Chain A
Amino acid sequence: MKKPSWISVAGLIVGWCMVVFNARAGDQCATCHGTLGDKPSSLFRKDIHHLKGVTCSGCHGGDATSDEMERAMDPKAGFIGVPKGDAVSVACATCHSNADKMKAWHSHLPTGQLELLQASVHGKLSTTGKEHIAQCTTCHGAHGIVSVKNPASPVYPLNVVATCAGCHSNAVYMRSYNPSLSVDQQEKYRTSIHGMRNAKGDAKAAACASCHGSHGILSSTDVKSAVYPAKLPGTCSKCHSDAEYMKGYGIPTDQYDKFAKSVHGIALLQKKDLGAPACNKCHGNHGATPPGVESVSKVCGTCHALNADLFSASPHKKAFDERKLPECETCHGNHEIVTATNTLIGVTPEAVCSKCHSEGEFPEGYRVAATMRGLIDSLETNEARAKSLVGDAEQKGMEVGEAKFKLRDVHQARLEARTMVHSFNEGKFRDVVGKGLAVAVLVGQEGQRAIDEYVFRRIGLGIATLIITVVAIALWLFIRRLERQQQLERTTT
């Protein structure tokens, strides 16, 4: 290969110098303001836009190539001064919403930020009527904007919480927009696992934007929001079901799959029952942390209050506490809580009671568990029988409205019995089941009576129809005989 001549090397150096000189010469604003030493111009030196070659006039307008102040800041040259209110975001969007311009700056950023912002809660709410809550600069800053991946960025995961809290922890400010919204999110967040890891410098731990999104943040009551109850499990699972992402944290990644199969998951995700708990109902949202052994019953008890109260007053409370067993979770599990069936109680291998109770160990509990199972099975069998008889009678067209109404009492008794299980008190359980059994037997009898009545009606109809038909035939024969006689009388006369 031939060596490059000195002339070609000198040419390259001169060319590079000209490019740099021209670039600097193109932003006379920065040159002058830089000599003044003002804050915006000094911040702008590190700004990603400046580094990419965007001049001050990119946002403020004017002629950045002129070193004459009047000419550079001449409104005729498009100078707009400092953009105010919504004009700030519009100014950013002249490039950031223009895919061609962004491509020219070799940027791969998405271009829908302004649209998302305008549709977001920050872009919709306004108290002055002149401008909306948040502009691009509210979170990204103005002259010192750096990439979101840059630790110096206010929206970098480790900084974004403080950035959001700038407004969201300010009670006076928040009151003017949403007085009912709490302002302790940051405080709670710092007590959460996510917050503690974030504080230790773990940028992977969830921060505000991880769940709420960034530009298109919506109210949690908005069905499109990532934190809307029915969508929340999906949002959490973006990280928590990603085995690669969660590597190193030492926790399982099958919570979502289990939850989706659980009674809570089916109610929330399939039936869209917003009363069913999402992840945050048990773990908290901003203060998300796994409930400890001592607090799990309180967590479940927020909805299942009666069960929790009965359990707390039961002999199991002390026994569980001593063995450091999580109260509800020991029998019902956590994420994959399925509909409780009778098989949960009793002394069969699949019954949870048999985990601790056996004929040898804790025999009294073993006996009570077996009795309870027998009682509730009996109630269920009687309820099924009564339901079948009433259904059969109804199918036959019999009026069984009252019996059907009473069936609700049996169902209610069965539900109450399932709750009463948590007292682990045989006497109380027997009382509740007894009430249900009495009604179930009564309804069964009513159903059977209705079926018997149906048969009686058929037989009765058969007999009545037969009698009426015989009378009708007899009458017909009588009429014929009568008319024949009359005919005979007429012919003889």
Chain B
Amino acid sequence: MSTLWKKTYDWIDERVHLGDLVEFMGKKYVPVHRGSVWYYFGGVSLFLFIIQVLTGILLLLYYKGSEGLAFESIQFIMSKVAFGWLVRSIHSWSANLFILAAVVHMFSVFFEKSYRSPREITWLTGMLMLFLGLGFGFSGYLLPWNELAFFATKVGTDIAGVVPIVGKPIMVFLRGGEDVTGATLTRFYGFHVAVLPGIFTVLLGIHLLLVQRQGMSEPLDVEKAGAAERKTMPFFPNFLLRDLLFWLLILNLLAILAVFFPWELGKKADAFASAPAGIQPEWYFLFMFETLKLFPAKVWFLDGEVLGVMLFGVAAILWLLVPFWDRKSARGEKNRAINYVGLAAVLYIIIFSILGWFM
């Protein structure tokens, strides 16, 4: 067996020089410190994304992205296709866990100031992937064409429409018209399975390449410590095996969630029906939704909702550009203000998400 393995390895090595890669992997080390556990969330996000792609491809075999057939095709997948229920449930649950893992990963990077030079591009690509992940969630939510998704999309695209000047054209572009119709479903389907994955793959490639090229970032205090005090572990096989262990635990969690809490389908969307009571977006949009609800109708001369949406836009841009305005961290100095901002953001998101869930 080992001879066969060696023969295969040699055959490939002869053609693509695997030896260089193995040598590179062998020399690659991952820092070990009190915050090392956060490194795994990047890998977990990647694992969940891979599951998304695989289950998504399987769903594509049966899903029909049109107003008249979308709901029925999901119903068919859930009830008739062998293990269709499992594939759909895992796709839905892994989508949610992906957002959660990506958010945790983003905050860990934020608090460790790992975005500082020279990893600005890694941060930018990561943040853009997080935004795309939210886009995946928003577009995928409509695809079953059920009542809840229909009205949530209506509300979501309405919110996009309040942005001055560009809001209305964006809303019409997203909806494929003035209202949420079959045209919106077709568009969202296209975004979900072609446009977003295409962009995401490019960003993911750059992101992973940079992580490999630049290595893992170390916290400031670890970086400043002497070489003797700095601990590391080999990327291959130690870190990769630990990553694998995490992935197995996540896989187990996914299986349990998919079986015990299968993703419901609800009622088919009906444009003429009144909106169901207690309609709310996916949990990761809840804090924004709740904030907009609590905003006063008018703030000075501005419409409250417009102001809210604009503030979120400004906050997102500031967050995205943090490597460029946090000069202290870039210089290798401690910046407590960033920690306070991050902590306030975490508390705000948690509190408003809870409020949105129960109110």
Does B bind A?
yes
Contact A468 B252 (CB under 8 A): yes
**Which of A18-26, A183-191, A235-243, A395-403 is the contact stretch?**
A395-403
Contact B252 A465 (CB under 8 A): yes
Give chain A residues whose Cβ lies under 8 Å from the Cβ of B261: 397
- Per-position contact with B for A467-493: 1 when CB-CB < 8 Å, else 0? 011011001101100110010000000
Determine if A457 is an interface residue (Cβ-Cβ < 8 Å): yes
CB contact under 8 A between A472 and B248, given known A401-B75, A401-B79, A402-B79 = yes
**From residue A149, how far is it (CB to closest CB) to chain B in Å?**
55
Interface residues of B in 248-262 (CB under 8 A from A): 248-249, 251-252, 255-256, 259-262
**From residue B215, how far is it (CB to closest CB) to chain A in Å?**
20
CB contact under 8 A between A401 and B259, given known A472-B249, A483-B238 = no
**A478 to B238 CA separation, bound complex (whole angstroms):** 10
Give chain A residues whose Cβ lies under 8 Å from the Cβ of B75: 399, 401-402
Contact A475 B255 (CB under 8 A): no
Determine if B208 is an interface residue (Cβ-Cβ < 8 Å): no
Determine if B150 is an interface residue (Cβ-Cβ < 8 Å): no
The residue from A399, A457, A458, A479 contacting B79, defined by CB atoms under 8 A apart: A399
The residue from A399, A475, A479, A486 contacting B78, defined by CB atoms under 8 A apart: A399
**From residue A103, how far is it (CB to closest CB) to chain B in Å?**
55
Give chain B residues whose Cβ lies under 8 Å from the Cβ of A397: 261-262, 264
**From residue B31, how far is it (CB to closest CB) to chain A in Å?**
16
Give chain A residues whose Cβ lies under 8 Å from the Cβ of B242: 479
**From residue B146, how far is it (CB to closest CB) to chain A in Å?**
11
Contact B251 A461 (CB under 8 A): no
Determine if B296 is an interface residue (Cβ-Cβ < 8 Å): no
| Total A residues in contact with B, Cβ cutoff 8 Å | 24
**A471 to B255 CA separation, bound complex (whole angstroms):** 15
Determine if A464 is an interface residue (Cβ-Cβ < 8 Å): yes
Give chain B residues whose Cβ lies under 8 Å from the Cβ of A479: 238, 241-242, 245
Closest to B252 in A: A468
Contact B255 A461 (CB under 8 A): yes
Contact B265 A401 (CB under 8 A): yes
Determine if B289 is an interface residue (Cβ-Cβ < 8 Å): no
Determine if B244 is an interface residue (Cβ-Cβ < 8 Å): yes
Secondary structure dominating the interface of A: helix
Determine if B177 is an interface residue (Cβ-Cβ < 8 Å): no
Contact B85 A399 (CB under 8 A): yes
The residue from B79, B248, B260 contacting A471, defined by CB atoms under 8 A apart: B248
Give chain B residues whose Cβ lies under 8 Å from the Cβ of A475: 241, 244-245, 248
Give chain B residues whose Cβ lies under 8 Å from the Cβ of A465: 252, 255-256
Determine if B35 is an interface residue (Cβ-Cβ < 8 Å): no
CB contact under 8 A between A482 and B245, given known A397-B262, A401-B79, A465-B256 = no
**From residue A224, how far is it (CB to closest CB) to chain B in Å?**
28
Contact A399 B256 (CB under 8 A): no
Contact A457 B259 (CB under 8 A): yes
Closest to A457 in B: B259
**A465 to B256 CA separation, bound complex (whole angstroms):** 8
Contact B252 A472 (CB under 8 A): yes
Give chain B residues whose Cβ lies under 8 Å from the Cβ of A461: 255-256, 259-260
**From residue A491, how far is it (CB to closest CB) to chain B in Å?**
15
Give chain A residues whose Cβ lies under 8 Å from the Cβ of B260: 461
**From residue B131, how far is it (CB to closest CB) to chain A in Å?**
32
What would 12 A/B residue contacts be, using CB atoms closer than 8 Å? Answer: A399-B78, A457-B259, A458-B259, A461-B255, A461-B256, A468-B248, A468-B255, A472-B245, A475-B241, A478-B241, A479-B238, A482-B241
Residues of B within 8 A of A (CB): 75, 78-79, 85-86, 233-234, 237-238, 241-242, 244-245, 248-249, 251-252, 255-256, 259-262, 264-265
Residues of A within 8 A of B (CB): 397-402, 450, 457-458, 460-461, 464-465, 468-469, 471-472, 475-476, 478-479, 482-483, 486
Q: A461-B260, A471-B248, A483-B233 are in contact. List 19 more A-B contacts (CB 8 A).
A: A397-B261, A397-B262, A398-B79, A399-B78, A399-B79, A401-B265, A457-B85, A458-B259, A465-B252, A465-B255, A468-B251, A472-B245, A472-B249, A476-B245, A478-B241, A479-B238, A479-B242, A479-B245, A486-B238
